């Protein structure tokens, strides 16, 4: 007799929790990324990749940025917007 029962295989993403410096915001951010996403951040830059992913959003009212956190959102002013 041959066994015909199959075990379902589960696919688990290779998640890493990383502390990434975002020069445009002048701060570090803790993000949970896959190994593949980490390569994308290295290639395209932290700010543009996190903005495209929806973690960093542009505020139209006060021309600043808001960053998604687990407990809520943090609002920041854009650096370099002060002209003399």
How far apart CA 80 and CA 26 sit, in angstroms, is 11
Residue 64 near residue 76, CB atoms below 8 Å: yes
Q: Vertex 10, ends 9 and 11: CA angle to 5°?
A: 125
* CB atoms inside a 10 Å sphere around CB 31: 20
65 versus 26: which is more confidently predicted?
26
Closest CA to 76 of 18, 25, 10: 25
pLDDT in tens, 11-51: 888 898 999 999 988 889 888 889 899 999 999 999 998 88
Q: What percent of the chain has pLDDT over 90?
A: 15
pLDDT of residue 83: 45
80 sits in the region (left: phi over 0; alpha: psi -120 to 50; else beta) called left
**Start-to-end CA span in the chain (Å):** 85
| pTM: predicted TM-score of the whole model, two decimal places | 0.62
Average pLDDT score over residue span 61-79:
60
pLDDT of residue 76: 54
């Amino acid at each position: 007799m041959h066994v015909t029962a199959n075990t379902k295989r589960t696919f688990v993403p290779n998640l890493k929790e990383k502390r990434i410096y975002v020069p445009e915001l002048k701060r570090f951010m803790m993000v949970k990324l896959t190994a593949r996403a980490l390569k994308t951040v290295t290639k395209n830059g932290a700010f543009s990749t996190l903005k495209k992913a929806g973690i960093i959003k542009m505020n139209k009212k006060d021309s600043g940025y808001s960053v998604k956190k687990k407990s809520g959102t943090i609002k920041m002013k854009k650096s370099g917007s002060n002209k003399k």
